[in-house]
Amino acid sequence: MDKAKYERNSSEARKRFSSTIKGIPTYKRSRQSTINESSLNPTKKPDNPLTSPYGRCPNVSERYKKISRIGEGTYGIVYKAIDQEASTNDSQKIVALKRCLPHFEASDGFPITTLREIQILREISLDGGHENIVVLKEVAVGSNCSSVFLVFEYLHFDLAKLIDEHYGKYSKSPFTLAQTKCLAKQLLSALVHLHEKCIIHRDLKLSNLLYDKDRGLLKLADFGLARKMEGVCEDEIATLPSYLPSARLDMDLTPRVVSLWYRPPELLLNATTYSMAIDQWATGCVIAELILGKPLFRGKNDLDQIGKIVEVLGSPTVKDWPDLLDMPLVKGGTVQLPFAVTHNEVNSNQTKGTLMDIFTDLSPSGFEVFENLLMYNPKRRWSATVTHDCAWFDEYPHAVNREFMPRFDNKL
């Protein structure tokens, strides 16, 4: 793409950003100030949204002061920063800035993932938001045409770093079973809210779960791969069977979503039609990791990941998963299934025995959670609502209240 065309497309993209962020709360100074700011800085002209190169968005370098870099992914870099316009006593003075990396294959010069993330978080915020979903405060821009930042509330930890550091020292999870239940309930509450809106996250993993140590609060973050599903309205969800994910199964979607260790079998076999059930498989992997302190399935690539899953859950059968033979990699011959699989001759006790060896302290209702979340057939996996209301959370040890969750000393 030549420079002139890129600059033109970037200018058009800024206009799209301005229209997209309508409805997101902003934190600009009041126009009726008791101080004449122009007299303090006579060389600075007041910004006019119609003529300012930043439009309705604040200038990131004027508004925010970066403190440190706290994360990096495929679609952006995250910084801890200070909101210099917030009052000294404002608890939200510290924010997280996510710089969106431009992808030149996008026709407008900006990644479609960024536009989706803004639109989805905006939709969530319109009805008051959800306490377990991260809050997008606003969009800020820089003088460079590729400098676009999403401004989020700041939380102390992401659970991946927290658990990895603790496991490296003590070879166990930092959370007790009761504390794990508290975190799992919060995660499931966020997913219930998303799935009722027919929003699928598609990148559920520990590093996208943020933790506020002062409130024992978990928040689901990073909606760069999330998207709105079509075909099932909210008022139709109640009429569906409890085990059926609330979205169409006949949409063509990319299989290259969800990080490898949390990726369900249908995506590993290259399926392009899937549902909210991929979030439910990832939820099972996340809860397992919270208990164990390490990932349940740690494959090196897609085929190795399938092997790790089969070692724990046993081989799938056509009887349990009728769509198995229609999976692209199976149908194309890339993945060869054992003869016994197509004739349903797998020992069903293999799964329970392996899970019992891994989760030695789990009750029968705890095993039921994993058996129904880590199920090969996505149509039979428990929904977020069913999992949230399952018997495991009602038995001893009960989920602790958030105020009694651990307060870790180290900070990111």
pLDDT in tens, 37-95: 333 344 444 454 444 444 577 788 888 888 888 877 666 788 999 988 877 666 668 99
Across the range 301-309, mean pLDDT stands at 93
Which domains are assigned to the chain?
A: 59-154 (3.30.200.20), 157-404 (1.10.510.10)
Residues 330/337, Cβ–Cβ less than 8 Å: yes
pLDDT for 353 equals 67
Integer CA distances (angstroms), 304 to 151, 154, 307, 357, in order? 38, 36, 5, 21
**pLDDT of residue 127 exceeding 70:** yes
**pLDDT of residue 19 exceeding 80:** no
Q: Is 29 left (phi over 0), alpha (psi -120 to 50) or beta?
A: beta
Residues 82/65, Cβ–Cβ less than 8 Å: yes
**Order of strands, edge to edge, in the sheet holding 217-220?**
157-158, 209-212, 217-220
Query: Band of the pLDDT at 10, cuts 50, 70, 90?
Result: low
Across the range 286-305, mean pLDDT stands at 95
Percent of the chain with pLDDT over 90: 46
Least confidently predicted of 46-60, 166-180, 266-280:
46-60
Residues belonging to the active site:
203
pLDDT for 5 equals 53
Residues 342/322, Cβ–Cβ less than 8 Å: no
Residues β-bridged to residue 139? 150
Residues β-bridged to residue 6? none
Mean pLDDT of the chain: 79
Q: What is the pLDDT of residues 367-398, one digit of tens each?
A: 999 999 999 999 999 999 999 999 999 999 99
Q: pTM score, two decimals?
A: 0.80
Distance CA 412, CA 407 (A): 13
Across the range 190-207, mean pLDDT stands at 95
Neighbours of 165 (CB within 10 A): 14
pLDDT for 45 equals 46
Residues 66/77, Cβ–Cβ less than 8 Å: no
> For residue 259, which of 228, 305, 213, 227 has the smallest C-alpha distance?
305
Least confidently predicted of 4-18, 170-184, 250-264, 384-398:
4-18
Distance CA 35, CA 320 (A): 71
